[in-house]
């Protein structure tokens, strides 16, 4: 068990390093002058008196930071900057260091993702188990039909429809993260203390029900859209894994010794059937990243997703690199956690 | 034949199959359903989308994949029933399905968008499959150290966050469907490689391979003449079913504005246009611009649904573990 975890702990940083190397390789085609804008924190103060850097100043910067050096040396330096100085460069889009801009927008995205993913996991697993238990009966057919249509409607088509109907026609759920008045209280008022950055939680802690309601109204549609992206996939995996498990010999044994069906399903089958489901949770995190970008774009919900998209469209490479590194780290950590969980649940994995 | 009968028994998969045929027909008949403004000098321009030509040609004389624009106003025009009074196909100049943002004709965009989507999807599947097949066969056939190293590389490609890598590369190279497609190809082959390798491993130890070896055939001949033809069909079928999800991914990027240019016939792009027209003009009908969303939305959904329905049925048929349950 310990050997397994140690092996994983050693492998994943290697993976992280390899991914950062690939990301760095993508920058290879850029010349030193383009590079100068990427890794160095060019804040407005660093500009010359005329408001623009001169050619010599640029050359001096390139020499000083060694941007014309061979790639491996630059890679090492870049990595050192990121790991030890937490310096991801200067974000043109946000007009502040990338790391600050990222941390500022992170709570919004966290809030969205948490609300979207946690209920979905439970509902999808529950439905998947039910569907498998009622295999080839009406309930199973209905669930299958709903899930197959579910994952065929693209998330952006679904999102636009939600926005058109619930905002355009009914005017219930507006886009954005908060109404103007609420934003003014949250970000500018001294009475409102931002403990976590998650607006709903902060509103509760500050006992501001109006802000809680406002935040929930803005969250409803993005959460629904993002949740919708994941539930069908999760349901399918749970269902097929459960079907397979229910056909195992030990299930027959359990039934033969007279256990009631719900115990067989809940205790014997479901636990084992959930093992493959843990493996796809890493895929879900990867899928969430794309989903978050699309959802935030549709609903103009100002979080990391919309930030990274703006940066991509405006060629703000340091910001995109920062987001990519952040996302990679997130995926690597989830993989690690999933692997360890997997080893705890399923002893067979450890001896692999 | 048994497999085919089992396939016919499932009505949903037949629906999916018919829909796919329909989309192929629309793509083939695109120049007839929505004839471009000017006739092109060569048939190449009808068949090959601009993003595939542009890397090789600087000046394109004819661009049928670009949506024609009716005037220079931004507001959409509603569908015109007049267009349907003529013999089918309707005249797109009259806007049978209306126009979207910036007065791009929806009918034209959907018809040529189908051709674009299918060309892109098939191109990506073809290229990734080719890479995956060669890589997987070499890895599986040689085994041992070669296999171990090559499979670690596959693991690594799997672990790459594709979406984030796409953002990084697009921010460096600039937006464009050609770039998105190239990125999908370089990150997409790992699954096929792993699948092929598994099949090759199963076939490698059979007698006829030993016989070929005894007759003095070299490795390349054994792999590509003996082993691969015997393992290729399941992966060909499974890969061809990926067209739906690949097109879905591409239209997602186009929706975000990372894909095709503004006037390009692309379904995701058309949904992005509809996003600007969620609410009708003030004081008027709130659903005034429904047609900008509903037609492209239904088209993409049907396309993806068709591939998913077919894919589900075929995967069930190919998966021997589920076969027992069908008899029961």
CATH number of the structural domain A99-345 = 1.10.3720.10
User: For residues B38 and A174, what is the distance between their CA atoms, to the nearest angstrom?
Assistant: 44
3-state secondary structure A161-213: HHHHHHHHHCCCCCCCCCCHHHHHHHHHCCCCCCCCCCHHHHHHHCCCHHHHH
Task: Flag the least confident range among A183-192, B115-124, B239-248.
Answer: A183-192
Q: Tell me which chain B residues have a C-beta less than 8 angstroms from the C-beta of A320.
A: 167-168, 171
pLDDT for res B127: 93
Helices B243-256 and B267-275, interaxial angle, to 10°? Answer: 40
Where in chain A are all domains bearing CATH 1.10.3720.10? Answer: 99-345
Percent share of chain B, pLDDT over 90: 10
List, for residues B178-191, the tens digit of each pLDDT value. Answer: 888 998 998 888 88
Tally of CA atoms within 13 A in the half-sphere of A294 that contains its CB: 30
pLDDT at A5 over 70: yes
What is the predicted pLDDT for the residue at B8? 73
Cβ within 8 Å of residue A329, ≥6 positions away: A16
* B177-188 vs B190-204: helix crossing angle, rounded to 10: 30
Average pLDDT, chain B: 81
Asked if residue A51 has pLDDT above 70, the reply is no
Higher pLDDT, B91 or A49: B91
Q: Which segments of A27-54 does DSSP mark as H helices, in order?
A: 32-39
pTM for this predicted structure:
0.84
Q: Is A291 on the interface with B (CB under 8 A)?
A: no
Over residues B32-45, the pLDDT tens digits come to 887 887 777 777 77
Burial bucket for residue B281 (CB in 10 Å: 0-12, 13-18, 19+): exposed
**For residues A275 and A15, what is the distance between their CA atoms, to the nearest angstrom?**
24
User: Is the Cβ–Cβ distance between A117 and A228 less than 8 Å?
Assistant: no
A108-147 residues touching B, CB cutoff 8 A = 135-136
For chain B positions 2-31, those within 8 Å of chain A (CB to CB) are: 12
Residues 6 or more apart from B183 whose CB is under 8 A from it?
B162, B165, B166, B169, B170
CB A66 within 8 A of CB A73: yes
In this structure, what is the dihedral angle of CA atoms A85, A104, A160, A234, given to the nearest 10 degrees? Answer: 60
The Cα A109–Cα B105 span in angstroms is 36
CB pairs under 8 A between A and B: 137
B69 pairs with which residues across the strands? Answer: B104
Reported as a single tens digit per residue, the pLDDT across B271-325 is: 888 887 777 666 666 677 888 888 889 999 999 989 888 887 777 777 655 444 4
**Residues A234 and A120: beta-carbon distance below 8 Å:** yes
Please check whether residue A286 is in contact with residue A103, taking contact to mean a CB–CB distance below 8 angstroms: no
- Give the mean model confidence (pLDDT) for residues B86-113: 80
Distances (CA, A) of B32 to B108, B113, B303: 11, 14, 21
User: Which one has a higher pLDDT value, A305 or B51?
Assistant: A305
- Chain B closest CA to A170's CA: distance in Å? 9
Q: Are A36 and A62 in contact (CB under 8 A)?
A: yes
Q: What is the mean pLDDT of residues B241-255?
A: 88
Calpha distance B286→B271 (Å, rounded): 18
What's the CA angle centered on A188, arms A187 and A191, to 5 degrees? 95
Give the pLDDT confidence score for residue B323 in this predicted structure. Answer: 47
Cα-Cα end-to-end distance for chain A? 11
CA separation for the pair B94, A70 (Å, rounded) = 60
Evaluate if residue A190 carries a pLDDT over 90. no
CB of A298 closer than 8 Å to CB of B275: yes
Closest approach of chain A CAs to the CA of B251, in angstroms? 9
pLDDT band at B118 (very low <50, low <70, confident <90, very high): very high
Which residues in chain A are contacts of B164 at CB distance < 8 A?
A: 289, 323-324, 327-328
Could you tell me what percent of chain B has a pLDDT over 70?
92
Contact between B30 and B24 (Cβ < 8 Å): no
Measured CA distances, B200 to B129, B141, B145, B219 (Å): 15, 6, 16, 13
Length of chain B equals 328
Nearest CA in chain B to A242: B322
Among the listed residues A107, A224, A97, the one whose alpha carbon sits nearest the alpha carbon of residue A173: A224
Given this model, what pLDDT does residue B23 score?
Answer: 93
pLDDT at A343: 74
Which of A121-125, A170-174, A222-226, B19-23 has the largest mean confidence? B19-23
Residue A236: partners with Cβ closer than 8 Å, 6 or more residues away: A128, A147, A151
Across the interface, whether the CB atoms of B271 and A169 are under 8 A apart is answered no
How close A164 comes to chain B (CA, Å)? 5
Residue B145 has pLDDT above 60, yes or no: yes
B175: left (phi over 0), alpha (psi -120 to 50) or beta: beta
Summarize the confidence of residues A180-206 as an average pLDDT: 76
Residues in chain B closer than 8 A to A164 (CB atoms): 278-279, 287, 290, 293
Q: Is the CB of B268 inside 8 Å of chain A's CB atoms?
A: yes
Assess whether pLDDT exceeds 70 at residue A291. yes
Region A192-217 average pLDDT:
79
In chain B, residues with a C-beta closer than 8 Å to the C-beta of A243 are 322, 325
Domains with residue ranges and CATH for chain B: 2-327 (1.10.3720.10)
Quick one: average pLDDT of B199-216?
83
* Burial category of A264 from C-beta neighbours within 10 Å (exposed 0-12, middle 13-18, buried 19 and up): buried
pLDDT for res B197: 87
Assign A16 a pLDDT band (cuts: 50, 70, 90): confident
What's the pLDDT at B327? 34
Q: What confidence tier does B24 reach under pLDDT thresholds 50, 70, 90?
A: very high
Whether the ω angle into residue B89 lies within 30 degrees of 0, i.e. cis, is yes
């Amino acid at each position: 068990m310990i050997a397994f975890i140690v092996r994983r702990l050693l492998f994943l940083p290697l993976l992280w390093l390899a991914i950062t190397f690939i990301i760095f390789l993508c920058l290879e085609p850029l010349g030193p002058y383009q590079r100068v804008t990427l890794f160095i924190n060019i804040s407005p103060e660093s500009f010359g008196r005329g408001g623009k850097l001169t050619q010599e100043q640029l050359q001096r910067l390139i020499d000083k930071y060694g941007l014309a050096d061979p790639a491996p040396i630059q890679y090492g330096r870049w990595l050192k900057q990121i790991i030890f100085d937490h310096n991801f460069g200067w974000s043109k889009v946000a007009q502040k260091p990338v790391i600050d801009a990222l941390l500022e927008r992170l709570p919004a995205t966290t809030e969205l993702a948490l609300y979207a993913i946690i209920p979905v996991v439970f509902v999808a697993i529950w439905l998947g188990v039910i569907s498998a238990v009622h295999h080839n009966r009406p309930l199973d057919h209905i669930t299958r039909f709903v899930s197959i249509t579910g994952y065929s409607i693209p998330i952006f088509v679904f999102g636009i429809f939600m926005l058109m109907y619930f905002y355009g026609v009914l005017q219930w759920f507006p886009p954005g993260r908060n109404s103007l008045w609420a934003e003014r209280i949250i970000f500018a008022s001294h009475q409102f203390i931002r403990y976590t950055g998650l607006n709903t939680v902060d509103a509760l802690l500050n006992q501001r029900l109006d802000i809680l309601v406002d935040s929930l109204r803005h969250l409803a549609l993005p959460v629904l859209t993002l949740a919708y992206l994941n539930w069908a996939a999760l349901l399918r995996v749970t269902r097929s894994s459960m079907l397979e498990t229910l056909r195992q010999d030990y299930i027959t044994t359990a039934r033969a010794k007279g256990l009631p069906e719900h115990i067989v399903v809940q205790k014997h089958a479901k636990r084992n059937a959930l093992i493959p489901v843990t493996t796809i949770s890493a895929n879900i995190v990867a899928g969430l990243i794309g989903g978050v970008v699309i959802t935030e774009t549709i609903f103009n919900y100002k979080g990391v997703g919309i930030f990274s998209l703006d940066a991509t469209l405006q060629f703000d490479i340091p910001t995109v690199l920062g987001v990519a590194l952040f996302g990679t780290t997130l995926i690597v950590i989830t993989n690690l956690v999933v692997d360890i969980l997997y080893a705890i649940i399923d002893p067979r994995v450890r001896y692999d | 034949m048994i497999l085919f009968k089992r396939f016919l028994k499932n009505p949903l998969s037949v629906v999916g199959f018919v829909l796919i045929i329909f989309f192929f027909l629309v793509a083939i008949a695109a120049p007839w359903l929505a004839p471009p403004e000017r006739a092109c000098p060569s048939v190449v321009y009808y068949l090959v989308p601009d993003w595939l030509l542009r890397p090789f040609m600087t000046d394109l004389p004819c661009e049928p994949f670009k949506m024609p624009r009716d005037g220079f106003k931004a507001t959409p025009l509603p569908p015109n029933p007049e267009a349907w009074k003529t013999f089918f196909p309707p005249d797109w100049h009259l806007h049978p399905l209306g126009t979207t943002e910036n007065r791009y004709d929806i009918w034209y965009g959907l018809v040529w968008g189908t051709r674009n989507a299918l060309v892109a999807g098939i191109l990506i599947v073809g290229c990734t499959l080719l890479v995956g097949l060669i890589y997987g066969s070499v890895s599986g056939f040689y085994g041992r150290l070669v296999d171990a190293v090559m499979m670690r590389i596959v693991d690594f490609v799997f672990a790459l966050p594709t979406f984030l890598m796409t953002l990084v590369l697009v921010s460096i190279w600039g937006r464009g469907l050609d770039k998105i497609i190239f990125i999908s190809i370089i990150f997409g082959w790992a699954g096929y490689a792993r699948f092929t390798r598994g099949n090759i491993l199963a076939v490698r130890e059979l007698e006829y391979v030993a016989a070929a070896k005894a007759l003095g055939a070299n490795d390349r001949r054994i792999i590509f003449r003996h082993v691969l033809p015997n393992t290729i069909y399941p992966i060909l079928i499974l890969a061809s079913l990926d067209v739906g999800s690949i097109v879905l991914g591409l239209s997602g990027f186009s929706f975000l504005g990372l894909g095709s240019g503004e006037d390009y016939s692309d379904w995701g792009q058309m949904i992005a246009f509809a996003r600007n027209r969620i609410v009708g003009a003030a004081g008027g009908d709130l659903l005034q611009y429904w047609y900008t969303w509903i037609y492209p939305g239904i088209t993409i959904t049907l396309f993806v649904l068709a591939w998913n329905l077919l894919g589900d049925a075929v995967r069930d048929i190919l998966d021997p573990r589920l076969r027992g349950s069908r008899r029961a």
